[in-house]
Structure 1
């Protein structure tokens, strides 16, 4: 495949993705909110003007809070990124440029996601007054903007970096420089993940501090409804959904996309050689195959999402979740033959994969070896997503068992939830293991990188249904605070319940792809150090075994930092909410407005302060180990962190998701005790479920999702610094 042809197709796909995102952006902003819309008077039951004004005011408060937090977070992160960029100059100025562009792209994607979410949330609440179908369309369109902008912008900027570096650095036939160029390009993924770490951790601490504080005082102590306007922490909670579950999540999945692509480029540039008349050679056009998979994925996902927007109508509550799941299934089915076609068109008819030692190689390779790896990643991602839904949706037995456990109190609820999380690791881990095993057999570490890209090839749809969740959650909160009525809240609750499940599916995709991305990056790291040191990394090496144990410990330490941070911030939030309700009894009586800004300030200050220790742990540990103990030590550290981190991430995310949906199962009136009595909000069973949900919040939205960034960031940082590690190792002699 010619380099220019590949680039033209990539930019056409990115342009179409951006155009589709803009189309949906315009559709979202076309909804003008006022009290004179036809049919609203009857549904709002009087006082329409006041309720609509309240809805607009709350939407503005949420947007202002999110903007203010991102401004502070981006300022603090920019300082840290600048320091890292200066340090990277000593490694390579070209790596530094790619690093800065990756961090800037991650920031941009996070900000754009937050902007559309805060525009769509109150409009979704407004549309729910008219019909469930309109509300679903609004939330899903908002998610589409997030998904298509992120992937299209990320892919186009990465392609531009490759064009610039190739034209400036590489001369025809200069293989060594071509390989080095992709090492520089890998820093693009490093920059994205560096910001994603702070975005995910900081946003997660923010949202869970507010959420836990609001629940413990509002629901458990004062028996207030969720998102009650009488609860001072409600606005901060809704702001947190945007900065954590939208901006942070977007930065996280941008990191996965950038790193998996960079891993495939790095490994293939070193190992892939086409057989041309008996001579092994390589062309940059043939290396563009990973980018082509992502580009065609954008095109297919436009068609699939268009089906949901224009054809499929959600007229019933029971159709919401199935419609969202169909998006994943349709995109997976449609992408399968496309990936097969791309493989035969873009890859050489015959090629070999040269191993790290430079002497052995995988021979007689055909295009089908590549598409089998990609398809295994694609379909294992769907399997992980569907199994995650089974374990976290209240439509199925596991979550209903957790809800039933609430009948004997919070303790049994927590026990059942933890057990569910541990069991939920079985299918995803086996799927990842089988995919990694077969991919390694077929194409070594290049196959693993292709599997990761296959899993992310329909990322635009995955992001769309993931972002749909926080938008719907916010819509429910705004409807409650605006007192739009029980019918509206029923619709938004149904949207939110489906959103919780799709968010869990999104986390499953993120964690599964992070495991494969980390493994492929590890392969790139091994290639670099083995080429330089001419020594294999084996588990019987004492330093590798010791570092395996230390690496396995890191996710536990990281989770401890993040959960303790949420606890400290939540403690301040609880005290503030109690103070306001005690000193201003008019708040509870409904005659006085709570001070929302004080709670927003607590979450902002606490999250910005508390995100630093876990961030430093992830960045400093592999750097220090490599500099002081050498490359072999890092070769033990990385798989240790991967093996324990992916298990913890799956368990934490699914436990938290199950507790959340068990609570919603009871709130919806589906739960009956052994005597056949229906238990709803305010019952002892509901309070037990709320406590479980409160415990699960930092698991599913802070430590769990952040762990996949830990394993990716450590791997790509080590890859970028591999040559530096090979020249050091002062404290350990091999």
Structure 2
């Protein structure tokens, strides 16, 4: 059998398993009465947002499609771009649809059958997202590799797939992030701080919007985020291998085609290993939730490493390439563990204690934790880069970086499943509170949610590390494509154009962070005014005898997200085009380098500071330092309010920003090679 069929078969099998798990979810009781009504409001709110977001998004995609066709004068790259956009959109939509069906069933399972049953349902909801991301990536890229991968003249068209996936990811992550945090900040500040009512209280008009935001931001947005890194790392490896000279690739494999196919082969094996990890979580669901989830994650990674060895033996690829896979896989685990420490360990308790002297010291402590948390993950990425350069022949280290990124992301099915489990569990707790199911049910959902907060924080750290490696591999592929067409091309730090590009690149992460932070602040301001108005003007709302107008809050968050996500999207797509064609390929290469460093550092700082502030607030709410309603609690809520857009809007946007700029640069590289000095060169 032609090996190009393997990703298509495995991807199809993964999608079938996702559908089977989804059908299993639908057979689980979804409750009745108030529980069902609340769940339907969350589901319909999420679907309305996604439909409006995708309508705007695909108008933008259509314009880019026309631009690509005009620029390349052929159908291959625009076709790949369209397939990438559609694949990413399907993964995000189907995964979120499943999550909004699993949340209420998790609540009912917790109420009627206990913790183990609730864990299974919540994890099944996340598993659909994870498997869909992995399967759609394999199906889309597998199809394009089958069509274009055998011809060196058309293989570059595959790069368009990554651009399509990245554009959808940027809009989904930024739009979803603005939605979820504007609702969360508004609901928390007015409900918990001003009105003194519990989180997820049914009297709070912003609670439904907050729960909708968990799905559109943390499920659909995160899925698109991981999808683009997952596909981007494979595309980079294919691009690097396709331009590798015979003298170089022959030291690693007998056939160049095997090195091009390897990332797809690893991803195929990884999807099957993810399925095994999902079954492991089900087997150990009777244990503590964190134990069951760790068994699935670590078990899938170990099985993948073993399976990767046999895959390379079958393809007759040298074991040094397999060692690059190991570096990536264990590097991802290490980054996740470091993230877990800074967002759930001793630093969190120290931030909570600093609340005794007010909000200012909470802010100072949280920022310090975020900055310190950068050190080990960045050293880990540097060690992976060094390790691959030592393991592989001179000049092939960039291919090793790409393979390390694939190794980190190959088991994305189980990684994304565990990450998406968190918002499902969080929603389940919100539904239990709003439906007044009692403290026993809420205790179970809170326990699941606590584990979900940890897995979400680990997922963000993993996503940042993976995005950094994937972007580095794409940038290396960009350099290889230009060098293949312009033999004397190089990125020399002594070249003024490269230095200029590096400084220009460092601007964009800060600019996008400012744009997204302001978007959340502005939308939260409108949300706060609306929630205050309803508390003041709706008779009986605070007494619980009247219903809040939740739809109005959902509309405010939706409008703000759709309006404010366009600017960052345009900036990310147009910056490489303007710099590349205006100042030349060298300036663009420098810009990508500067943006990569700034993006990774900012993303880690914001994600970990935000996660630490969030968990410090939860630590106080458990009864420490005075518990809920105390001055320490109010100080911790302020920290969490700032941390929300840090960890769920601006921080995650950095992952996608660098990947969008890198993949757009790779797509236009063949055009830049015709005018490497640019218009002003």
Contact 2:281-2:295 within 8 A present in 1 as well: no
In the alignment, is residue 243 of structure 1 matched against residue 216 of structure 2?
yes
> Which string of whole-angstrom CA distances, capped at 9 and with x for unpartnered residues, describes residues 591-613 of structure 1?
11110010011001010000011
DSSP-derived class of the 2:257 partner: coil
- 291, 298, 301: which one aligns with 1:322: 291
Mapped partners of 1:516, 1:280: distance in 2: 23
In the alignment, is residue 614 of structure 1 matched against residue 600 of structure 2?
no
Which residue pairs with 1:53 in the alignment? 33
Mapped partners of 2:248, 2:88: distance in 1: 38
Q: Which segment is superposed worse, 299-308 or 478-487?
A: 299-308
Mapped partners of 1:233, 1:473: distance in 2: 15
1:266–1:235 Cα change, 3 Å: same
Contact 1:17-1:298 within 8 A present in 2 as well: yes
> Which string of whole-angstrom CA distances, capped at 9 and with x for unpartnered residues, describes residues 254-306 of structure 1?
11111111101010111164899999984535521111111111111211211
In the alignment, is residue 86 of structure 1 matched against residue 40 of structure 2?
no
Q: Which segment is superposed worse, 525-534 or 127-136?
A: 525-534
> Which string of whole-angstrom CA distances, capped at 9 and with x for unpartnered residues, describes residues 473-514 of structure 1?
111111111011111111111111111110111111111111
In the alignment, is residue 233 of structure 1 matched against residue 206 of structure 2?
yes
Mapped partners of 1:521, 1:444: distance in 2: 13
Contact 1:274-1:280 within 8 A present in 2 as well: no
DSSP-derived class of the 1:180 partner: coil
Mapped partners of 1:376, 1:445: distance in 2: 14
Count of aligned residue pairs for this structure pair: 672
Aligned pairs for 1:280-679 within 5 A: 282=255, 284-309=257-282, 311-314=283-286, 319-348=288-317, 367-393=318-344, 396-441=345-390, 442=392, 443-533=396-486, 534-669=488-623, 671=624, 673=625, 679=626
1:527–1:597 Cα change, 3 Å: same
Mapped partners of 2:442, 2:250: distance in 1: 69
DSSP-derived class of the 1:536 partner: coil
> Which string of whole-angstrom CA distances, capped at 9 and with x for unpartnered residues, describes residues 415-440 of structure 1?
11111111111111111111012213
Contact 1:16-1:299 within 8 A present in 2 as well: no
Which residue pairs with 2:102 in the alignment? 120
Which residue pairs with 2:134 in the alignment? 151
Mapped partners of 1:389, 1:205: distance in 2: 24
Aligned pairs for 1:211-230 within 5 A: 211-230=184-203
Question: Structure 2 length normalisation: TM-score?
Answer: 0.96
Moved over 6 A (4+): 274-281
DSSP-derived class of the 2:286 partner: coil
> Which string of whole-angstrom CA distances, capped at 9 and with x for unpartnered residues, describes residues 543-586 of structure 1?
11011111112111110001001111111000100111111241
Which residue pairs with 2:119 in the alignment? 136
Mapped partners of 1:718, 1:244: distance in 2: 27
Mapped partners of 1:234, 1:302: distance in 2: 34
Following TM superposition, by how much is the alpha carbon of 1:13 offset from its aligned partner in structure 2, in angstroms?
2.6
Mapped partners of 1:730, 1:529: distance in 2: 13
1:633–1:275 Cα change, 3 Å: closer
Following TM superposition, by how much is the alpha carbon of 1:694 offset from its aligned partner in structure 2, in angstroms?
0.8
- 178, 188, 194: which one aligns with 2:167: 194
1:556–1:347 Cα change, 3 Å: farther
Which residue pairs with 1:96 in the alignment? 78
In the alignment, is residue 732 of structure 1 matched against residue 680 of structure 2?
yes
Mapped partners of 1:601, 1:536: distance in 2: 50
Q: Which segment is superposed worse, 402-411 or 212-221?
A: 402-411
Structure 1 residues not aligned, in runs of 5+:
35-51, 171-177, 349-366, 674-678
DSSP-derived class of the 1:135 partner: helix
Q: Which segment is superposed worse, 18-27 or 61-70?
A: 18-27
Q: Which segment is superposed worse, 466-475 or 20-29?
A: 20-29
Contact 2:280-2:292 within 8 A present in 1 as well: no
In the alignment, is residue 28 of structure 1 matched against residue 10 of structure 2?
no
In the alignment, is residue 63 of structure 1 matched against residue 43 of structure 2?
yes
> Which string of whole-angstrom CA distances, capped at 9 and with x for unpartnered residues, describes residues 445-488 of structure 1?
11111010000011111100000000011111111110111111
Alignment RMSD (CA, Å)? 1.8
Which residue pairs with 2:662 in the alignment? 715
Mapped partners of 1:314, 1:245: distance in 2: 26
- 147, 150, 155: which one aligns with 1:164: 147
DSSP-derived class of the 2:152 partner: helix
Contact 2:5-2:146 within 8 A present in 1 as well: no
DSSP-derived class of the 1:721 partner: helix
Contact 1:59-1:118 within 8 A present in 2 as well: yes
Contact 2:672-2:678 within 8 A present in 1 as well: no
Which residue pairs with 1:357 in the alignment? none
Rg larger in structure: 1
Following TM superposition, by how much is the alpha carbon of 1:710 offset from its aligned partner in structure 2, in angstroms?
0.7
> Which string of whole-angstrom CA distances, capped at 9 and with x for unpartnered residues, describes residues 37-88 of structure 1?
xxxxxxxxxxxxxxx4111001000111011001100000001000001000
Contact 1:150-1:250 within 8 A present in 2 as well: yes
Which residue pairs with 2:156 in the alignment? 183
Contact 1:273-1:282 within 8 A present in 2 as well: no
Question: Structure 1 length normalisation: TM-score?
Answer: 0.89
> Which string of whole-angstrom CA distances, capped at 9 and with x for unpartnered residues, describes residues 199-242 of structure 1?
10000000001000001101110011001111001101111111
- 679, 699, 711: which one aligns with 2:646: 699
> Which string of whole-angstrom CA distances, capped at 9 and with x for unpartnered residues, describes residues 516-543 of structure 1?
1111111111112223332211000001
1:57–1:185 Cα change, 3 Å: same
Which residue pairs with 2:637 in the alignment? 690
Contact 1:376-1:451 within 8 A present in 2 as well: yes
1:521–1:508 Cα change, 3 Å: same
Q: Which segment is superposed worse, 623-632 or 151-160?
A: 151-160
Contact 1:440-1:447 within 8 A present in 2 as well: yes
Mapped partners of 2:479, 2:259: distance in 1: 23
Contact 2:88-2:136 within 8 A present in 1 as well: no
In the alignment, is residue 13 of structure 1 matched against residue 10 of structure 2?
yes
Mapped partners of 1:128, 1:16: distance in 2: 31
